[in-house]
């Protein structure tokens, strides 16, 4: 997939680059082998620590740039993985959203039901 680092990208550009390839994502397992979803709650310290531990388990470089967008692809925000890790409650705030690595290597989806999933794109031979 094309690199999403271009600062001039508009939301519709991101959608055109990401959405057609969502079927190629291999989602990590979540709560069990039948589901890729895990809890993403900020209701108490235990839940916060579990979410932070899960995010850290993805072993992503702190400097990786990420794009956050709502599922309507109308709002874009660019940040880094490190900023997201430091204050996840600033980003996961009861709005359905996608977090996409600017290098198009992985994607994370958050839903307002306080669940989250993480996946990586499988290699495809021809992407434009």
Distance of alpha carbon 98 from alpha carbon 90, whole angstroms: 14
- Report the first-to-last Cα separation within the chain, whole angstroms: 6
Instruction: Give the distance, in angstroms, between the CA of residue 114 and the centroid of all CA atoms in the same chain.
Output: 14
Q: Residues 6 or more apart from 120 whose CB is under 8 A from it?
A: 25, 26, 28, 105, 106, 107
Query: What's the predicted TM-score (pTM) here?
Result: 0.85
Distance of alpha carbon 66 from alpha carbon 48, whole angstroms: 21
Distance of alpha carbon 76 from alpha carbon 10, whole angstroms: 8
- Per-domain residue ranges for the chain? 11-121
- pLDDT (tens place) for every residue of the chain, 128 residues total: 455 777 777 888 888 889 888 899 999 988 778 889 998 888 888 888 888 899 999 999 999 999 999 888 888 899 999 999 998 888 887 789 999 999 889 999 999 888 999 999 986 544 44
Distance of alpha carbon 98 from alpha carbon 69, whole angstroms: 5
Is-contact 84 40, C-beta < 8 A? no
């Amino acid at each position: 997939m094309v690199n999403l680092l271009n600062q001039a990208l508009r939301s519709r550009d991101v959608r055109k680059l990401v959405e057609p390839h969502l079927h190629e994502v291999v989602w990590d397992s979540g709560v069990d082998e039948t589901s890729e979803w895990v809890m993403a709650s900020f209701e108490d310290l235990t839940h916060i620590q579990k979410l932070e531990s899960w995010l850290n388990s993805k072993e992503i470089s702190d400097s990786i740039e990420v794009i956050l967008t709502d599922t309507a692809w109308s709002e874009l925000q660019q940040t880094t993985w490190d900023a997201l890790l430091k204050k996840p409650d600033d980003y996961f705030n009861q709005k359905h959203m996608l977090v996409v690595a600017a290098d198009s290597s992985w994607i994370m989806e958050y839903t307002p039901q306080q669940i989250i999933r993480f996946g990586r794109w499988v290699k495809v031979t021809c992407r434009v």
